[in-house]
Chain A
Amino acid sequence: ELKVEQNPLFLSMQEGKNYTIYCNYSTTSDRLYWYRQDPGKSLESLFVLLSNGAVKQEGRLMASLDTKARLSTLHITAAVHDLSATYFCAVDIYGGSQGNLIFGKGTKLSVKP
């Protein structure tokens, strides 16, 4: 059974600080996805990581993928309040591109002044 585990599940940060969210998964896959969800809203795609060693950056967020360790990280640099949201990672069940995703439980990030 494919499992996707995120930690921490809750994260309270001060503005200007750095932190990393971890996503571990239990089966072979070279595709990993990161999403953001604001309260009461839908999911927004942040990053699609398609190979071992993939690194993508958008603003203060950087995601990386290590398929050998079955680990992805989402690094937050100099956090600002606007980054407060819940972040999900997801892995394709079949390790391919069919889009059948297993999601982690999410990391609720709160950035305080």
Chain B
Amino acid sequence: DAGITQSPRHKVTETGTPVTLRCHQTENHRYMYWYRQDPGHGLRLIHYSYGVKDTDKGEVSDGYSVSRSKTEDFLLTLESATSSQTSVYFCATLSTLAGMRDTQYFGPGTRLTVL
């Protein structure tokens, strides 16, 4: 357990509204990631961050933006939510410490429903 929390854990929203999901970690891990999980697709990378204010797009970034102003927080924003963004969203962090290198830890997930 890498001390990763996600908020909210569940959210129902309407099409067209902006939504922000928060990932908070207490391990001072430099790398952080946002994934979405959908039936039949496994997990797909949305955005990632290599450090404060250093972010980049992943495999399915359209319609999403991210921000990282502090090491411990990584925010995912759906600028105008659509029904296709109904999913379970997972945050992850990567430890680069010797002995734990390459181990990616996942948060508990946020279930988002867009009506």
Contact = CB atoms under 8 A, between A and B. Distances in A.
Contacts of B94: 99
A45 interface: yes
Interface residues of B, number: 25
B103 to A, nearest CB: 5
Interface stretch (A66-74, A76-84, A102-110): A102-110
A14 interface: no
Q: Is chain B's interface secondary structure helix, strand, loop, or mixed overall?
A: strand
Nearest to B56: A100
Interface in A14-63: 31, 33, 35, 41-45, 48, 50
B96 to A, nearest CB: 8
A43 B42 contact: no
Contacts of A43: 43, 90, 106
Interface residues of A, number: 23
Interface of B: 31, 33, 40-45, 48, 50, 58-59, 90, 92, 94, 96, 101-109
Give 5 nearest A-B pairs by CB, closest first. A103-B42, A99-B94, A43-B106, A103-B43, A105-B42
Interface of A: 31, 33, 35, 41-45, 48, 50, 88, 90, 93, 97-106
